A and B are shown apart, each in its own frame.
Chain A
Amino acid sequence: MSWVETVYNYSYFVGAFGLIMIGLYAVMVKTNLIKILIGINLIDVGVNIFLVSLGYIKGKGAPIFSNASVTPANSIDPIPQALVLTAIVIGVAVTALSLSVIIKLYQHYKTLDISKIREMRW
């Protein structure tokens, strides 16, 4: 039973690691640019879940101090969540930029297959 418990306790890490692996698979294997971009987004989400779960402590709540019952002893670490907010914003910017580059590439080459876009070596 013990390994089930371990997996259960670390389920966020397992999930995050799984998402990162799926994303890496898409980036390495797929040749369609949109699919590669989705892979990168999956990796981003995996990393964000990983960071949030680093700060999570079981049975404790959000540190909102206007609520008098919340003390430092029963609240989670909020800094990773602040980091993740920043990381999400950066991820959105990169996704938007790469989508616009992909649109321009499609207009130029009439294909999304990176193995066919070959003016330079990939």
Chain B
Amino acid sequence: MVDYAILLIALPLFAAFLIPLVAMVNKNWPKYIPILVTAFNSVLSINLLLYLNAHNGTPFIVKIGGFIPPFGINLFIGYLAIILLMLISFVGLMISLYTINTVKDAESRYYMLFILLLMGVTGLVITGDLFNMFVFLEITSISAYSLTAYKRDGLSLEASMKYILIGSLASVFVLIGIGVIYYSTHTLNIADISNHINTVPKYIKMFSLSMLLIGLAIEAELFPVNGWVPDVYQASPTPVTTIFSSIVVKATIYVFFRVLFTVFRADLTVMNFVMGLGVITLLIGEISALKQVNIKRMLAYSSIGQVGLIVIAISSYSSMGVAGGIYQMINHAIFKGILFLGTAYMITSVSGTGKISDLKGIAQKMPISSFIVSFSIIALLGVPPLTGFWAKMMILSSVMSSGHQIIVALILFATVVEAVYYLKFIAVIYDSSEITNSFKSTIKFNKIVPIVLFALTIILFSVVPQFLVKFQDVLLKAANELTNVSSYISIVLGS
């Protein structure tokens, strides 16, 4: 059996609270613990993938404490969960490698919060219980608040305060929604709620749906409630920003759609509304990114835009569209990993406050990093045959076939806007004039290695066609797990 899957959550939790003790023994040891934990989780998720392949790809559940659902909490693990788990542990591993010499005066509590953040996100993507999901959401948010304030300067404290205020409101909305659902279905198990949701009176259903929609939209960075995103991304330490952009948003988008699709069995009206939110998020994000001078802020707005694209894709509800959305999640996690880590590596080599103009002509001094950053930008923009192209192709064709031509046009327009500011950025770093900024050479292998490994994954996803065919099959199965409610219920509750 696969009861050891619970170690995905239990081991990071144990390691996180072990760190203060380890720090008492030796101050240099805590920084290696995140590497060990994420490496262990990577191996475990690959192991689960092999198990899943050996069992025809049917998702399985893990009963915690032996309680049979719907009475206990169960974990639900299928291809989608495993894709997200591998993403979390891989990106987490890269970032913990990068962090070793990066975060200034990194103390043991930084590593503790970092592991707790990863643990919360891991729990979000595999849990099958609505209240458990809320608890993991709160673990993620609280560690995110404190990591945002980690630098303890004015900017980061202010961003953290803003994040705490809006995050507490989000959790209140989510909690009210969950309470109302519990009151009307008398269960918290997602599959069991889904079984009973059609017996709930319509206005109660609409009330709890809108409560959860607002609460989760705040966490998933959707349009009217994403004002905190640029400030938090700009103010937190770069490895933390990378985690937010690559992983935390992806997990909250997954939760958002799990609640919409499975818990509420949302109909076409709701999905069209969410698609509209996605379109506005995409346009606002990309257009605001145009006028930014700070690199992290520009990348933050670009992240918001990409979130919009993923939400459009998944809310199209067709299997191809959802698969494209999941593919874009993977792509975006890797691209933003390179962009945030790569530009931060460049910024640490020059003086300045992180403006784009500080990096003028940096390519003459740092050819490898500049090349990889530009390569990932080109892949992100969707130049064939790189991996970003395939994801955008899937999304556009599915949106087209669902009859929203105007949305296709808007996505293409947003891509053009995206191309404008990213190509401008490439032009700045490849500027051939003499460098005016002071430059100190600091070649650090632990910073280059993660960036290079990220770039290798892009190539792996782009140019190995054999891999692509199998991969598309996996993506379609993952999409099916998200949208097919009746199979979810029969797997959890038994038929």
Contacts and interface: CB of A to CB of B under 8 A. Distances in A.
Interface stretch (B97-105, B164-172, B256-264): B164-172
B458 interface: no
Contacts of A43: 168-169, 172
A20 B175 CA distance: 13
Interface in B160-210: 160-162, 164-165, 167-169, 171-172, 175-176, 178-180, 182-183, 186, 188
Interface string A91-122: 00110011001101100110000100101111
B117 to A, nearest CB: 14
Contacts of A86: 131, 135
A87 B161 contact: no
B155 interface: yes
Interface residues of B, number: 36
A94 B162 CA distance: 13
Contact of B179 (A36, A54, A120): A54
B158 A119 contact: yes
B176 A105 contact: no
Interface residues of A, number: 34
Nearest to B161: A101
B436 to A, nearest CB: 27
B418 interface: no
B291 to A, nearest CB: 14
B231 A120 contact: yes
Given A93-B142, A94-B168, A80 B161 contact: no
Contacts of B160: 101
A77 B179 CA distance: 13
A86 B136 CA distance: 12
A93 B176 CA distance: 19
B403 interface: no
Nearest to B132: A86
Nearest to A117: B158
Contact of B161 (A33, A51, A83): A33
A90 B154 contact: no
A94 B164 contact: yes
Given A93-B142, A101-B160, A120-B158, A47 B176 contact: yes
Interface in A5-29: 20, 27
Contacts of A120: 155, 158-159, 162, 231, 234-235
A77 B186 CA distance: 9
A97 B164 CA distance: 9
Nearest to B166: A27
Contact of A83 (B131, B138, B169, B186): B131
Nearest to A52: B179
A54 B177 CA distance: 12
Given A33-B161, A40-B165, A87 B154 contact: no
Contacts of B149: 101, 104
Nearest to B188: A79
Given A94-B142, A101-B149, A50 B168 contact: no
In the complex, which of the residues B145, B157, B167 has the most CB atoms of chain A within 10 Å of its own CB atom?
A: B157
A108 B165 contact: no
Nearest to B230: A120
A20 B176 CA distance: 11
B161 A105 contact: yes
A80 B179 CA distance: 8
A94 B142 CA distance: 7
B179 A90 contact: no
Contact of A36 (B142, B165, B175, B186): B165
Interface in B123-168: 131, 135, 138, 142, 145-146, 149, 152-155, 157-162, 164-165, 167-168
A105 B165 CA distance: 14
Nearest to A108: B154
A17 to B, nearest CB: 10
A114 to B, nearest CB: 8
Given A104-B157, A122-B162, A79 B176 contact: no
Nearest to B167: A94
A59 B142 CA distance: 39
A95 B149 CA distance: 15
A14 to B, nearest CB: 15
B179 A51 contact: yes
Interface in A34-87: 36, 40, 43-44, 47, 50-51, 54, 77, 79-80, 83, 86-87
A113 B235 CA distance: 20
B188 to A, nearest CB: 7
B182 A80 contact: yes
A98 B161 contact: yes
Nearest to B160: A101
Given A83-B131, A105-B161, A119 B182 contact: no
A90 B138 contact: yes
10 contacts: A43-B172, A79-B182, A83-B178, A97-B142, A97-B164, A101-B161, A104-B149, A105-B154, A105-B158, A122-B162
Interface of B: 131, 135, 138, 142, 145-146, 149, 152-155, 157-162, 164-165, 167-169, 171-172, 175-176, 178-180, 182-183, 186, 188, 231, 234-235
Closest 3 CB pairs of A and B: A54-B183, A51-B179, A98-B164
Interface of A: 20, 27, 33, 36, 40, 43-44, 47, 50-51, 54, 77, 79-80, 83, 86-87, 90, 93-94, 97-98, 101-102, 104-105, 108-109, 114, 117, 119-122
Given A50-B179, A54-B182, A119-B155, 9 more contacts: A27-B169, A47-B175, A83-B182, A97-B146, A97-B164, A101-B161, A104-B149, A105-B158, A120-B155
